[in-house]
Amino acid sequence: MQEAFDAGAGVSGVGVPAAGVPSVPFVAGLPKVELHVHHVGSASPRIVAELAARHEGNTPVPADPAAVASYFEFRDFAHFIEIYLSVVDLIREPEDVRILTYEVGRELARQQVRYAELTVTPYSHVSRGIPAEAFCAAIEDARIKAEAELGIVLRWCFDIPGEAGLAAAEETLAIALDHRPEGLVSFGLGGPEVGVPRPQFKPYFDKARAAGLHSVPHAGETTGPETIWDALRELGAERIGHGISAARDERLMAYLAEHRIPLEISPTSNVCTRAVASLEEHPLPVLRDAGVLVTVNSDDPPMFGTTLNDEYAVAARLLGLDEAGLAGLAKDAVAASFLPAVEKARISAEIDAYVAAAS
């Protein structure tokens, strides 16, 4: 949505009635899990400014958080990509990786996120000179520290940047298998969908799945339902990143519902990238009415002027959910996660207790 970039802000709640939905304090305090959030894309102005200060004089990114907020005022989508890559370029040393990862954990914990699966693109950092072993050690150091100090459990999805081609797929798989960090649970595919056919990545997903990693490719955000079918048939997808074009294919929705294959939905992101024209036109209600298991996520939250709390508030308005309904949506995300069953039960029970106490 061009206007979102022009305004330099998220679009949470635009044009969507707020009457009868859960209060802001209820949403803020609700225990949650986050299943679709990008590692670098989660860097808040505070984190970005701290990283920029470490490399001051050798980056266009400002070292003041207020200035970074203005820096994130995107003119258009091409400018967003330019800004995103300038933030990626701040990650030059293992210590940068540690700082970013721990601080992302802190931002999520502040929103009562108990568990998060971060989409990490190691190729972007290894290709810029950070050794794979050092990169994996840095995210693990931050993961362990975040769990001990912040109480948040972090896990990783190693993501192929699809636009970089099969060489990136080969390197991502090698990092995943040869330097496999303890927190790694899944293997993904991101980047532009147009012009990047999913079937070409089948051999890499086959090997990742054989090694015990879950398959969670992006599909059907800016392309049609056939991309989702490709992700299911060729990549063995167990969850779909975005997947909103499934709403255009009744047979696909029925298949997703029958097989309980979740979609990772990020409404504000979909508007900002112009995958949908507005929140009023977002297919989230269509998908949920068809019985598809949907989860609510934030994607690249600071860059799109949103938070996971904001996305839950948007979902409540789009779906007409009361507090119990919103808690049910949170429990759907728990069910769709790759947590062990005992941990799923623990977080679900915490959500139930929170709703009971708020009644």
Residue 107 annotated among the catalytic residues of the structure: no
Region of 285 please: left (phi>0), alpha (psi -120 to 50) or beta. Answer: alpha
Strand partners, 34: 116
Q: Give the closest residue to 240 by CA, choosing from 257, 260, 222, 261.
A: 261
Residue of 117, 193, 221, 323 with catalytic role: 221
* Contact by Cβ (8 Å): 117, 337: yes
Helix (H) or strand (E) holding 114: strand 113-120
What's the angle, vertex CA 294, arms to CA 248 and CA 305, rounded to 5? 95
Q: Is 257 exposed, middle or buried (0-12, 13-18, 19+ CB in 10 A)?
A: middle
Name the DSSP class of 248.
Answer: G
* Contact by Cβ (8 Å): 314, 16: yes
Active-site positions read: 221
